[in-house]
Amino acid sequence: GQQVMQIPQYQHVQEGEDFTTYCNSSTTLSNIQWYKQRPGGHPVFLIQLVKSGEVKKQKRLTFQFGEAKKNSSLHITATQTTDVGTYFCAGSDRDDKIIFGKGTRLHILP
């Protein structure tokens, strides 16, 4: 069945450093979504990528969808304490259920 792997599981960075989390699927995806979950909170939708090779930016966040539509990444430039949380990718193919990655937990060291 479809699997979505996310790495790393944890990441500690100094405030101001960059951060990247990677998402890899065992099958080709029709789309991929990214969510952020603050500690103690619920997932909040960040963005969706649909096209092969697509790149989208939201302020300091850059999202990429691979050419083969099997992987994706989220890059945060110059992290801030407000970026703390767990970042999940969620992929689905045209007919299957959505599968969430296990998430990357980001800790910011002041």
Residues that bind other proteins (CB under 8 A): 6, 30-31, 33, 41-45, 48, 50, 88, 90, 92, 97-103
Q: Going along 1-110, which residue ranges are E strands?
A: 4-7, 10-14, 19-25, 31-37, 44-49, 55-58, 61-65, 71-76, 85-92, 99-100, 104-109
Taking the least distance from each CB to other proteins, the nearer of 17 and 56 is 56
List the Cα angle 48/51/57 in 5-degree steps. 50
Minimum distance from residue 34 beta carbon to other proteins (Å): 11
Minimum distance from residue 16 beta carbon to other proteins (Å): 27
Specify the residue for token string 């405030």.
Answer: 15
Minimum distance from residue 108 beta carbon to other proteins (Å): 18
Taking the least distance from each CB to other proteins, the nearer of 85 and 103 is 103
Gap between the Cα atoms of 12 and 42, Å rounded:
21
Taking the least distance from each CB to other proteins, the nearer of 60 and 105 is 105
